[in-house]
Structure 1
Amino acid sequence: MDTNKPRQQFVFIKTHKTGSTTSVNIFQRYVIYHNVTPLIAKATGYVSWPFPPAETDYVHTPGEHYDVMFGHMVYNKTWLQSKFPTNAPYISLIREPLSHLKSCMSFYSLPKLLKITSTNPIKTFLQNPWKYKNLSEAYFSFCKVTWDGTRNHLAFDLGYPTEGADDMEAAERYIKELEYDMTLVLLLEHLDESLVLLRRLMCWEMQDVLYDTAPKNVKNYSYKSYNPTPEELANLRRWKAVDYRLYDTFNRSLWRKIAGQGPDFYRELHHYRELKQNISWFCHGEQHRKSNLTLTVKTSQWSPQFVVDARYCKEIATTSLDMMREIRQKESFKVDKRWEIVLPVINVLSIIEGRPTFKYKIERMEYQKELRRKIPKRKTHKKKRNHG
């Protein structure tokens, strides 16, 4: 195999609440700019959750040939190996477990699930996480799977079951296997280093891995900046032991791989950061005001010359949903709403409200229709007209 040839096949496992909106744009752009065939869902960005996709969940191509995948899906090695070449790189993204818990607490409305009413649910929860175990373990009835948004959500997205939270021997074995399987796991806290390493491992060009520096999906909530006490952090490390082991493993792995790149890695990293900032300024400034303007990025020792134009500026800032529409249009894939997946956050809200969970949106809609039919109609009494 030519080690300098760009690797145009990959599987990106998009995890929840890890800043993956920024990263997935890179993989989506790669599909748009290169002649590769994606495996994508029939209706949403979710290929399936939490089980491997059913035959009806994704768009089938002639000969069942797929080069890339970049959607939400719980990692399942057996299923993925049945769809992608054996040498396809596997990539994912994780983040530091405390910041991940904060993000999940807000996004999934976990204080409601846990029946925590304090103004700082993180502090309340971390004082004794085990107290909330019966509430935090949400049971998704449609697939008979238990999910815990407070515990090892990162590990769950990468294929480790909720029930294994206390079995650290099994977790160690699984993480070791995962480390062997994954070409690279990006770290949100070191995203630039991760992406420069990705470029090198994939033999991609610089414009392939640049991203827009404007914040995306940024939400503020009262406990976002809360720093737990040492005792609370110790509780968290025990409660999310698998996630911490996962993060620590891939943190070490990242720096070990970077060390193997040699001293010019950091020169490239400096160049990358400078370039990323300049392109973002250009796209949100001059180019935004005059759409015909272009910026020529000169050849460097890490990448050939390329031109930043209106299309490039638009696409680095485009949401993942809009990018999906563009990919569907490019591939002539039509949306089939019959197989639209119910997002996990919606199913969590259903559990909070005491309602059943569903895989497909159409099933949920039918359930809601049936509920409305069962609600007795209020009788209206016509007033008798007084003719006297």
Structure 2
Amino acid sequence: MFLSPSHIPRIILFLVCMMVGFTLWEQIFLLNKSFNAINRNWNQLLEISPMNPTPCYPVMNIMFLKTHKTASSTVLNILYRFIENHNLTVALPVSKMHIFHYPRPFKAEYVEGFPSIRQKHNVICNHLRFDLTEVQKIMLNTTQYFSILRNPVSLLESSYVYFRYLPSFNKTRTLNQFLISPLSYYSPHETYNMLIRNTMWYDFGYDNNAEDKEDYVYSVLKEIEQRFQLILIAEYFDESMVLLKNTLCWELEDVVYFKLNFRSKDTIQNLTQESKERAKQWCSLDWKLYKHFNRTFWSRIQDTIGLEKMQQEVEILQARQKEFMQVCLLDGKATDKSKIKDSVLQPAQAGEANILGYNLKPGLDTKTMRVCRSMIMPEHKYINLIRDHQKQKIL
């Protein structure tokens, strides 16, 4: 079959259309393939980096200012467990002590091994009177600073029972009596006068007998704000632990706790309303310190976590705590010192307070026993374990 000359233009047009169509199809195919690849990469990116807050990393370098009578012993236990679990280096007091020569202002030379051991520490957390310059000599530059405060009215009541032997306290039968005329019994020259008036103010490194002047108080509060990244509140301990967990990027298990160094309710003295107001006046520097950081505490929660999410996380923490109590503790609760069977778990006693402790359930497996035992270990016993472990690391 022969093509006439009139057919040739049509054939050429047909071939051109075929070539153009094939080229367009090829481009669409490649574009679709490229789009699928981009889509897969995007999905992978979403899986790796979801549209959530930037992932954080656990804070390992910590300075905890352990204030007196503020539930700080429970916080200390949490820190000791974190130190053990992460094999951290902790600054320990010299001479096998459990405090850094309190009530003297802290000095780096009070740390075991200073200055012969040039390595700086991950954690410092035992009782001391704060001095930033000295603390910085033994801590890393990336250290996060935090502490805990308590309502000074209940703090003073606790101090009265724990430190009943102090001359200013033992001249009266009750705290109500003392607060009627505290200056009749108190001496600012008494060695441990800071345990009687403005204790937290003193622990932060300031004069507990200073005049309560507005400019002075304001400047101190600003100094503390600038140095300490976080101030917790004892009355809201569970909320404090959630906030601590989120701030330090820790896990829930890191902040699950049993209350330590707390007394039986029959040793708590009931204060009249007049006595409570007098206590605020007597410890006015502590009262202003507490009020200020109680306010910033809740502002911090609203700005970072939110009240609704905070409540959810508190409920999760409390549920986990109950699980630990059921697994670890005989009778699932604290008990009187006279009923504690293991001498290592006997809490130290002080003044007229009856410090409670715990018995472990029998028959726990080795791993569970280790975890449970560490959660109820009194601080004066736990520090010895930490000390022995640290010596082995050095050797």
The answer to whether the aligner puts 1:271 opposite 2:284 as a matched pair is no
Q: Return the alpha-carbon distance in structure 1 between the equivalents of residues 80 and 389 of structure 2.
A: 12
In the alignment, which of 142, 147, 154 is matched to residue 193 of structure 2? 147
Unaligned runs of 5+ in 2: 1-53, 333-359
Whole-angstrom distance in 2 between the partners of 1:104 and 1:168 = 27
Instruction: Confirm or deny that 1:321 pairs with 2:380.
Output: yes
Q: Show the counterpart of 2:213.
A: 167
**Residue 221 of structure 1: how far off its partner (Å):** 6.0
Tell me the matched-pair count. Answer: 307
- Which one scores higher on RCO, CA 8 angstroms, separation ≥ 6? 1
Q: Indicate yes or no: 2:188 matched with 1:137.
A: yes
- State whether structure 2 residue 294 is matched by structure 1 residue 251: yes
> What's the counterpart of residue 358 of structure 1?
none
Q: Which runs of 5+ in 1 are unaligned?
A: 141-145, 294-307, 335-388
Alpha-carbon distance in 1 for matches of 2:64, 2:217: 22
Query: Letter of the aligned partner of 1:33 in structure 2?
Result: N
TM-score normalized with structure 1 length: 0.73
Give the superposition deviation at 1:149: 2.5
State how far apart, in whole Å, the 2-side matches of 1:56 and 1:199 are. 30
Is 2:70 aligned against 1:18?
yes
Once the two structures are superposed, the pairs formed by residues 217-296 of structure 1 within 5 Å of their partners are 217-219=262-264, 224-229=268-273, 231-260=274-303, 261-262=305-306, 263-285=308-330, 288-292=361-365
Hey, what's the Cα distance between the residues in 1 that align with 2:130 and 2:249? Answer: 24
Shift of 1:17: 1.7
SS in 2 for 1:177: helix
Structure 1 Cα separation of the partners of residues 235 and 169 of structure 2:
28
Deviation per CA, 1:304-363, whole angstroms, max 9, x where unpaired? xxxx722111101111122111111211179xxxxxxxxxxxxxxxxxxxxxxxxxxxxx
Q: Is 2:162 the partner of 1:107?
A: yes
**Post-superposition offset of 1:52:** 1.7
Q: Identify if the C-alpha distance between structure 1 residues 114 and 318 changes in structure 2 by more than 3 Å, giving closer, same or farther.
A: closer
Change (3 A) 1:106 1:202: same
Counterpart AA for 2:270: Y
Equivalent residue, structure 2, for 1:7: 59
Cα RMSD over matched residues?
Answer: 2.5
CA distance in 2, matches of 1:106, 1:165: 26
Alpha-carbon distance, 1:18 to partner: 1.7
Question: Does the CA-based 8 Å contact 2:91-2:111 persist in structure 1?
Answer: no
Name the amino acid aligned to 1:236. A
TM-score (ref. length: structure 2): 0.71
Answer yes or no: is the 8 Å Cα contact 1:111–1:117 preserved in 2.
Answer: no
Cα displacement (A) at 1:56 = 5.4
Match of 1:343 in 2: none
Aligned to 2:351: none
Amino acid paired to 2:139: F
Deviations for 1:357-378, whole angstroms, at most 9, x for unmatched residues? Answer: xxxxxxxxxxxxxxxxxxxxxx
Q: Secondary structure at the match of 1:11?
A: strand
Query: Which of residues 178, 181, 185 is equivalent to 2:227?
Result: 181
Structure in which a larger fraction of residues adopt helix = 2
CA contact (8 A) 1:292 1:310 kept: yes
Larger gyration radius, structure 1 or structure 2 = 2
1:184–1:256 Cα change, 3 Å: same
Shift of 1:46: 0.6
The separation in 2 between residues aligned to 1:256 and 1:104, in whole angstroms, is 29
Identical residues among aligned pairs (%): 25
The residue that corresponds to 1:98 in the other structure is 153
Aligned residue number for residue 70 of structure 1: 125
1:253-308 Cα deviation digits (max 9, x unpaired): 11111112133222111101111111112111497232128xxxxxxxxxxxxxx7
Deviates more, 1:57-66 or 1:310-319: 57-66
CA contact (8 A) 1:106 1:221 kept: no
CA distance in 2, matches of 1:255, 1:162: 26
